[in-house]
Structure 1
Amino acid sequence: MSEIVILSGSPSVNSRSDLVLRFLGRSLQNKGFKVTHVSIKDVPQDVLFEGKFDSPVVSQIAAKLQGARGVIVGSPVYKAAYTGVLKALIDLLPQDVLEDTPVFPLMTGGSPAHMLAIEYTLKPLLATLKGQNLKGVFVTDNHIDKTNTEQPIINIETHERLTKQLAYFVELLNRQKSPIV
């Protein structure tokens, strides 16, 4: 079994991003991977607002990310970028927290006009943490059925793009050298 960490940057309770991230997590579990979900909602507001680098919550999240064989980071598009709360958390993490780790970036948004947000905002942010970015996937909100938690992707092309990128992510993980114990 392998450890995959899925980090959600959505502050919304009814998040389309979270639905897609959970769908990807279930797909990975069906392939035999152990998946851990971390949400920005798990981090106390004062930790983010006051920049508490030494918070136990931040240390736990950093340890999960550093111990992961692969990471999926997802965020809705807010004002042409990832969420501010995701950035606040990332600012508190060690600079090399994703070093040499395959990272699958995912963004959701209301319109294809926001598609480049993944390229110009999220991927460069993850690269500063030394993650190995995959191509990633942008999903428009109208391709997500918020009432179907098991299979929220209702557009065939979007489902195929997600499946293809997830297969490539798994291939990268399987090519990694096994850790020496």
Structure 2
Amino acid sequence: MPSVLTLWGSPSRVSRTGIVAAHVADRLAEAGHRVDRLAVRDLPPQALLHADFADPAIRDALALVDKADAVVVASPVYKAAYSGVLKAFLDVLPQFALRGKAVLPVLTGGTPAHVLALDYALRPVLTSLGATHVSQGWFVHESYVHPGDGNGEGDGGTGHRLGPEGLAPLYELVDAFSAHVAGRASTG
């Protein structure tokens, strides 16, 4: 099966975006994909902001993008766009880092008005990085992320989970993305 990198650009250690990205990664793994996970906030800030390509963590992160057949890009919406943390990472990627890759954009936010950030902020950047196929993105409203049940299941260790009202449509999109990626791998 193809490999998928799930990367998210939330500056917070515990974030709704991280929870959603964990659900997406788990769903893709259940479908048989090899899944790597990258929280951009865990990269060394100094190296990231200065585009220090000699830094081992930056090199490793770039290698994850390079080896992936597909990429899930998740971010909270700030100021009607994706996060600055994600922007800093996308800025260090080579010009055509996503060439030949399918990409699934996922955003989280507090108002339905943020849905537009998918097509007006994130999609153009992913396309300019050479993504072969940018799937229909998905916006997850913050009200869909609920306090966990205390047993750690489905919460990525955060104590929070994505409720069924958010999971059903997200999984439908993830399953379509998974099938597209698997289909590309079988024909390529």
Q: What TM-score do you get using the length of structure 1 for normalisation?
A: 0.91
Alignment of 1:1-181 (within 5 A): 1-131=1-131, 132-147=133-148, 150=154, 152-156=161-165, 158-178=166-186
Counterpart amino acid of residue 145 in structure 1? H
Say which SS state the counterpart of residue 35 (structure 1) adopts.
Answer: strand
Cα deviation, 1:4-30, whole Å, max 9, x if unaligned, reads 100110110110000010011111111
Q: For residues 95 and 110 of structure 1, do their structure 2 counterparts lie closer, same or farther at Cα, with a shift above 3 Å needed?
A: same
Check conservation: 2:69, 2:100, Cα contact below 8 A.
Answer: no
Check conservation: 1:58, 1:93, Cα contact below 8 A.
Answer: no
Cα deviation, 1:41-72, whole Å, max 9, x if unaligned, reads 22101012223244332222222112111110
Between the aligned partners of 1:54 and 1:121, the Cα distance in structure 2 is: 29
Check conservation: 1:53, 1:93, Cα contact below 8 A.
Answer: no
Structure 2 unaligned residues grouped into runs of 5+: 156-160
Structure 1 or 2: larger strand share?
2
Q: In the TM superposition, what is the alpha-carbon distance from 1:122 to its structure 2 partner?
A: 0.9
CA RMSD of aligned residues (A): 1.8
Q: What TM-score do you get using the length of structure 2 for normalisation?
A: 0.88
- 2:158 maps to none
Check conservation: 2:76, 2:82, Cα contact below 8 A.
Answer: yes
Percentage identity across aligned positions? 34
Q: For residues 113 and 153 of structure 1, do their structure 2 counterparts lie closer, same or farther at Cα, with a shift above 3 Å needed?
A: same
Q: In the TM superposition, what is the alpha-carbon distance from 1:160 to its structure 2 partner?
A: 2.6
Say which SS state the counterpart of residue 116 (structure 1) adopts.
Answer: helix
Q: For residues 177 and 19 of structure 1, do their structure 2 counterparts lie closer, same or farther at Cα, with a shift above 3 Å needed?
A: closer
Check conservation: 1:48, 1:85, Cα contact below 8 A.
Answer: no
- How many residue pairs match? The answer is 179
Counterpart amino acid of residue 79 in structure 1? K
Q: In the TM superposition, what is the alpha-carbon distance from 1:146 to its structure 2 partner?
A: 4.1
Structure 1 unaligned residues grouped into runs of 5+: none
Between the aligned partners of 2:31 and 2:164, the Cα distance in structure 1 is: 23
